[in-house]
Amino acid sequence: MPIRMDNIVETDGALILGAGIAGLFTALKLAPMPSIVLAGTRPGVSGSSAWAQGGIAAAMGEGDSWQNHARDTVTAGAGLCDPAIVDLVAREAPERIHDLLALGAPFDRKADGTLALGREAAHSMPRIVHVKGDGAGAAISATLAARAGQSQCITLLEGFHAIELVMEDGRVTGLFARSGMGHDARLVLFKARAIILATGGLGALYAVTTNPLESRGEGLGMAARAGAMIADPEFVQFHPTAIAVGRDPAPLATEALRGEGAILINGRGERFMTGVHPDAELAPRDIVARAIHRQIASDQPVFLDCRKAVGAAFAQRFPTVYGACAAAGIDPATQPIPVAPAAHYHMGGIASDARGRSSLPGLWVVGECAATGLHGANRLASNSLLEGLVFGERVAQDVRGALTPGAMRGIPPAPPRFASPAPAHVLREAMSRLVALERDDEGLRAALAVIARLERASTELAVQNMVASAKLVTAAALARTESRGGHWRSDYPAPAQVARRTFLTLADAGRIAAECHQMPAQSVQK
């Protein structure tokens, strides 16, 4: 399709791609430095952020400490967390919650006025700040968007679809984004002195996901195609209790319900988690998700039974989940909720240091698209919004320090080419079938073959970005011949003796894929 490139937008400040919590918080922290926040959808309801239910983890309760929070995070991360990053995030968490309070976030409080703290799986203490039970993401997103909208320093632009980063002299200096459809489609070149990706996760690369459909790894793919180092892409977290009523994306039954005492039962009414892990329903997410997956694989439907734990108070205490159930004709106060695991969170991402710098000069990353080393092989519940806040502050500080006054260099680069989109459902179906909760050599090779076909078939850059992300997840999963955290290989069920993070580029993933097509099964080693 012919597309006009009739606009160049330049800023002397920063360009932030993504208007979820990470992008908006970074922009607010950057002020008075000017920034443009560019997003596909409307700030305030954009990305996974607005859908978050449980809340944000921070050690703010009596008897809790940042060391406890750090310990729980490291335990969940199954040997792959970066301890220095974990410490700094846990230590800075309460301060970031105070920032949100100062911005107007309406966290739930107890009768005595102190913050009400919830408990979620694998947290040793109640430490989740929340809003109206399960409405944290919507309330915080709305608060941040309103504040950003009032700021003289922040320009919010919605309806733009970014497709390619621009590199000049080895530095990221801008990006191309498309707006409009059909004859109205136009291409805009955005240039800035700092480019910050806050593009969220990649759950929607899977056919069964809790993520909004815009969370499909395009930021990760764009950065990878530009040569950025990617870390731990094989680690995808599956939420154990997506509500299984055939909706795409699948609505979520928050983990806080299990924190309240809701239990998992199978079609025979048996509670099966007590036989799987000492913490039963509050075991780490990957363990709960796999236990549910196995029940379903053995033809047992699984239900979250909240009748005793929440009962008649359900509609008032968990209005978002209640609404999703009611829309499917289920009354969770009196009926068990059908649930199944769904792709939910990406622990891996664009490799970042403690300042949010990627490996590419000029490119910072923040939020779910980044891999800071906080989550290791498995994210602790409610640590992800927190990561966006802590690194939003850190990126803002670093960008302010790194930018010296001066004009932008260079001539605008040639606009990228376009073609019609390829069917994403082929990719999503392959990822859900072959690169999900239980992986093996044969399935991962088959997935790489599908990815290679899609790569050849499409010149559409948005598709190339998605395919690049899928390739990184799949190639790294094939290379990791062990089971750890969110990555389970049925052909390598034990963890390796030495825990090692993955760092690879798209070219490395391409080599793994090429090797695997030449070699017999079971012979691709890390």
Q: Which of 64, 218, 234, 440 binds ligand FAD (CB under 6 A)?
A: 218
Residues 325-364 that bind ligand FAD (CB under 6 A): 345
Q: How far is the CB of 22 from ligand FAD (least distance, A)?
A: 3
- Write the burial class of residue 109 (CB in 10 Å: 0-12 exposed, 13-18 middle, 19+ buried): exposed
Residues 300-329 that bind ligand FAD (CB under 6 A): none
User: Is residue 23 a contact point for ligand FAD (CB under 6 A)?
Assistant: yes
Q: How far is the CB of 221 from ligand FAD (least distance, A)?
A: 9
Q: How far is the CB of 385 from ligand FAD (least distance, A)?
A: 4
Q: Is 343 exposed, middle or buried (0-12, 13-18, 19+ CB in 10 A)?
A: buried
**CA distances for 227 relative to 186, 367, 458, angstroms:** 26, 20, 20
Shortest Å distance, C-beta 394 to ligand FAD: 14
CA distance 492 to 267: 30
Partner residues linked to 363 by β-bridges: 195
Beta partners for 10?
Answer: 191
Member of 16, 44, 45, 48 binding ligand FAD (CB under 6 A): 48
285 is catalytic: yes
Instruction: Kindly name the residue from 285, 357, 394, 428 that is annotated as catalytic.
Output: 285
How far from 260 is each of 175, 254, 305, 438, 441, CA to CA, in Å?
45, 10, 11, 29, 39
Q: Candidates 159-167, 323-331, 412-420, 475-483 — which segment interacts with ligand FAD by CB under 6 A?
A: 159-167
Closer of 222 and 447 to ligand FAD (Cβ): 222
Q: Which of residues 250-279 bind ligand FAD (CB under 6 A)?
A: 252
| Three-state secondary structure readout of 367-408 | HHHEECCCCCCCCCCCCHHHHHHHHHHHHHHHHHHHCCCCCC
Complex with ligand FAD: residue 22 or 431, whichever CB lies closer: 22
Question: For residue 107, what are its two tokens?
Answer: 């966290």
Q: Are 386 and 140 in contact (CB under 8 A)?
A: no
CB of 24: closest distance to ligand FAD in angstroms? 8
CB of 219 vs ligand FAD, minimal distance in Å? 5
Q: Report residue 518 as tokens.
A: 């030449």
Which tokens belong to 352?
Answer: 């970042």
- Residue 118 sits in the site that holds ligand FAD (CB under 6 A): no
Rule CB under 6 A: is residue 39 a binding residue for ligand FAD? yes
For residue 176, the cross-strand partners are 164, 189
Binding part of the chain for ligand FAD, among 21-29, 146-154, 320-328, 480-488 by CB under 6 A, reads: 21-29
Residues between 60 and 99 that touch ligand FAD (CB under 6 A)? none
User: Stretches 90-98, 211-219, 483-491, 516-524: which one binds ligand FAD (CB under 6 A)?
Assistant: 211-219
Exposed, middle or buried, 308 (CB in 10 Å: 0-12/13-18/19+)? exposed
Give the nearest distance from C-beta 252 to ligand FAD in angstroms: 4
Number of residues this chain uses to bind ligand FAD (CB under 6 A): 44
18 part of the interface to ligand FAD, by CB under 6 A: yes
Integer-rounded Cα radius of gyration of the chain = 22
* C-alpha torsion sign, points 437, 68, 262, 54: negative
User: Does the protein bind ligand FAD through residue 17 (CB under 6 A)?
Assistant: yes
Judged by the rule CB under 6 A, the positions of this chain that interact with ligand FAD are: 17-23, 39-41, 46-49, 51-56, 136-137, 160-162, 198-201, 210-211, 214-215, 218-219, 252, 345, 367-368, 382-385, 388
Active site residues: 285
